[in-house]
Amino acid sequence: MTPAGSLLIATSLHKTYGHTPALDGADFSIHPGEVVAVMGPSGSGKSTLLHCLAGIVKPDSGSVHYNGRELTAMSDTGRSGLRRGEFGFVFQFGQLVPELSCSENVALPLRLNGVKRKEAESRASAWMERLEVADVAHKRPGEVSGGQGQRVAVARSLVTGPRVLFADEPTGALDSLNGERVMELLTEAAREARTAVVLVTHEARVAAYSDREVVVRDGKARDMAGVR
């Protein structure tokens, strides 16, 4: 896979936490609308790769280009703004604000972007319908099932119309059926919106929803598309 036409490109990323190297020269690239699974054993550096790609964590060395911009050279404010506007996030658990209702949670990224409450909530409710969780809009996250909560989180991640969606073990806490439904809805919605998805997972059946996979082992990422 050549980086040409790629939306997000990372080259030779290095990141060390304390004395443990999490990334040791990892490369990555993704095209618009592409779903790429990042696989690998636990502790291999999958999540660190995702954090670097999303500009949450600054790599020790290496570069991350998004849409022609160098992420590693941007200020924290700049990267935060990027994350608010261009990126979306789904995590394994603990991501919904427990005090806010589900629809308020979905509307949150829009409101952080300065969208008016009415407008934010109507857009949120459209996305909740799309992810089949319109019926829990007024419940709190603590009052809905795991699958519903995760779909709320997906709705929240897509509500801003992000160019890249980062999903870190999005089905990790769900059973097969719920996990699959979440993956179906997520990939469908992302493909329709031409949103690129970086999908970190250790589950093959989840990775099967991707277009191609990248395996991270010992801090190095290997693009399996180039193997054959």
**Distance, CA of 117 to CA of 101 (rounded, Å):** 14
Q: Of residues 129, 135, 143, 175, which one binds another protein by CB under 8 A?
A: 143
Instruction: Give the Cβ contact number of residue 76 at 10 Å.
Output: 9
Q: Of residues 157, 171, 178, 195, which one binds another protein by CB under 8 A?
A: 157
**Distance, CA of 79 to CA of 71 (rounded, Å):** 7
Distances (CA, A) of 2 to 9, 18, 29, 172: 10, 33, 8, 31
- The least distance separating another protein from the CB of residue 47, rounded to whole angstroms, comes to 7
The answer to the question of residue 150 lying near another protein (CB under 8 A) is: no
The answer to the question of residue 18 lying near another protein (CB under 8 A) is: no
Q: Of residues 13, 49, 64, 83, which one binds another protein by CB under 8 A?
A: 83
The answer to the question of residue 175 lying near another protein (CB under 8 A) is: no
**Distance, CA of 210 to CA of 198 (rounded, Å):** 9
User: In this structure, which amino acid lies at residue 131?
Assistant: L
Name which of 73 and 98 has its Cβ closer to another protein.
Answer: 98
Characterize the bridge pairing of strands 212-217 and 220-223: antiparallel
Footprint of another protein (CB under 8 A):
17, 41, 47-48, 51, 54, 56-57, 77, 80-85, 87-89, 91-92, 94-95, 97-101, 104, 108-109, 111-112, 117, 140, 142-143, 157, 166, 168, 184, 203-205, 207-211, 213, 215, 217, 222, 224, 227-228
